[in-house]
């Protein structure tokens, strides 16, 4: 059904490009000159940026797998190191412009939040972007000074995503990051062609690092009046967003008097038609990191615990200890727990990987009088309690 709907869109002239455009970013007016690239000279060559992925879903299909998240991180670590498989296809005249951005990404957290709001990615309440705030049905950013926050959630504006520019005074720190639709995120799971090679996140992180679209401001630039402020990307008129069907653009494709670098990540063709950043973009992005996002330069890749801490009252508990009839456990959360009981010598006597309920009962008939240890596990949190059977 979805495919059929998409094909129909392609038959309506002009509609396909608008409905399937990748990026909803409308840059705020910016200073034309990037900060001096020397600002990052002398620091580490390869910068590793911690990334926290917040999956905010209303339809279970949007609750993408860890494997799909990891597939996106893998793409970023190829694209920002010029290790992506399309590099050899860059046309000869642009081959010398290809840059290894020397930026890598480490995944420090994945959060999952069920929301009551469909298409939350582009919903606002009182000027605040819902998806970025737990109290508005989304998920709070994780340390935005030291971490790139990526929200993966549905939207209804036809775009695959958007990313925030670093010097836009309109965007508060806790709403900075990238926003990508689940079907445009990563290469596995629900990622769907033509946006199934992870290039939406590559592109939106480009914006997050101050890179503009190659044509400059607006949806396109037919009069060649606007620019991306980068020296080695020639003036260009078009976004190439209508190349989302079977074909990629063919080199040379001219506009504004020169051949367009349509395969640059800051254009909008299908994922498989994109392949490179330039040296000029590298200078601009790394200068922006030093000037606007310095916290990322020294950030830690250690995983961050994101499970909300259980309060005393919400901890799993042994209800009767010593136990003489049933062993009764209070398991407060709605999800399943993993239960295991060991004797004093560490021998496993009982296990249930799918325990739930408050209370949850185990027959003591399995055990002779004595001391046991019961392990209760929920996600990353493990409780071990001493259990006494005495009849």
Q: Which is nearer to Zn ion, 23 or 296 (CB)?
A: 23
Which of 247, 284, 286, 239 is CA-nearest to residue 264? 239
- Per CB under 5 A, which region of 22-30, 141-149, 297-305, 322-330 contacts Zn ion? 22-30
Using CA atoms in the order 148, 154, 159, 165, what is the torsion angle rounded to 10 degrees?
-20
Place of tokens 């494997």: 67
- Return left, alpha or beta for 210; rule: phi > 0 is left, psi -120 to 50 is alpha, else beta: left
- Per CB under 5 A, which region of 15-23, 60-68, 129-137, 186-194 contacts Zn ion? 15-23
- Per CB under 5 A, which region of 19-27, 94-102, 181-189, 380-388 contacts Zn ion? 19-27
In the set 204, 220, 235, 283, the catalytic residue is 204
d(CA 301, CA 323): 45
Q: Which is nearer to Zn ion, 136 or 160 (CB)?
A: 160
Query: Would you give the DSSP letter of residue 264?
Result: B
User: At its nearest, how many Å lie between Zn ion and the CB of residue 72?
Assistant: 17
Residue closest to Zn ion, measured at CB: 23
Contacts with Zn ion, 193-212, as mask; x by CB under 5 A: --------------------
Q: Which is nearer to Zn ion, 23 or 341 (CB)?
A: 23
Helix residue ranges per DSSP H, the chain: 2-11, 15-19, 66-79, 92-95, 199-208, 279-292
Q: Is 341 in the site for Zn ion (CB under 5 A)?
A: no
Place of tokens 């020169």: 258
Q: Is 23 in the site for Zn ion (CB under 5 A)?
A: yes
User: At its nearest, how many Å lie between Zn ion and the CB of residue 302?
Assistant: 31
Residues 40-69 binding Zn ion (CB under 5 A) are none
Residue 106 sits at φ, ψ, to 5 deg, of -125, 135
Q: Which one among 16, 25, 53, 178 touches Zn ion, defined by CB under 5 A?
A: 25
User: At its nearest, how many Å lie between Zn ion and the CB of residue 161?
Assistant: 8
On the CB side of 192, how many CA atoms lie within 13 Å of its CA?
Answer: 14
CB distance 217 to 236 below 8 Å: no
Whether residue 86 lies in the annotated active site: no
Residues that bind Zn ion in the complex, under the rule CB under 5 A: 23, 25
Active site residues: 204
């Amino acid at each position: 059904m979805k495919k059929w709907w998409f094909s129909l869109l392609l038959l309506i002239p002009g509609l396909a490009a608008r409905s399937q455009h990748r990026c909803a970013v409308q840059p705020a007016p910016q200073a034309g000159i990037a900060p001096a690239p020397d600002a990052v000279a002398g620091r580490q060559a390869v910068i590793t940026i911690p990334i926290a992925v917040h999956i905010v879903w209303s339809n279970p299909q949007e609750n993408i797998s860890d494997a799909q998240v990891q597939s996106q991180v893998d793409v970023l670590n190829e694209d920002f190191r010029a290790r992506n498989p399309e590099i050899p296809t860059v046309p000869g005249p642009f081959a010398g412009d290809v840059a290894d951005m020397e930026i890598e990404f480490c995944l420090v957290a994945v959060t999952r939040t069920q929301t009551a709001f469909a298409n939350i990615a582009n919903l606002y309440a009182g000027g605040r972007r819902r998806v970025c705030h737990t109290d508005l049905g989304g998920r709070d950013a994780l340390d935005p000074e030291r971490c790139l926050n990526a929200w993966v959630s549905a939207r209804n504006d036809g775009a695959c995503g958007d990313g925030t520019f670093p010097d836009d005074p309109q965007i508060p720190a806790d709403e900075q990051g990238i926003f990508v639709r689940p079907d445009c995120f990563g290469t596995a799971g629900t990622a769907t062609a033509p946006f199934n090679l992870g290039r939406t996140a590559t592109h939106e992180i480009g914006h997050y690092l101050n890179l503009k679209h190659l044509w400059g401001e607006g949806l396109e630039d037919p009069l060649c009046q606007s620019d991306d402020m980068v020296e080695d990307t020639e003036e260009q008129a078009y976004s190439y967003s209508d190349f989302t069907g079977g074909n990629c653009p063919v080199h040379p494709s001219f506009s504004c008097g020169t051949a367009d670098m349509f395969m640059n990540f800051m254009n909008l063709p299908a994922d498989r038609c994109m392949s490179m950043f330039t040296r000029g973009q590298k200078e601009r992005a790394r200068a922006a990191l030093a000037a606007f996002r310095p916290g990322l330069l020294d950030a830690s890749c250690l995983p961050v615990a994101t499970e909300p801490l259980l309060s005393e009252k919400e901890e799993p508990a042994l209800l009767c200890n010593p136990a003489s009839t049933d062993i009764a456990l209070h398991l407060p959360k709605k999800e399943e727990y993993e239960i295991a009981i060991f004797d004093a010598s560490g021998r496993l006597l009982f296990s249930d990987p799918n325990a739930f309920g408050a209370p949850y009962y185990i027959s003591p008939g399995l055990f002779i009088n004595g001391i046991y240890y019961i392990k209760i596990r929920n996600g990353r949190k493990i409780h071990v309690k001493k259990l006494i059977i005495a009849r």
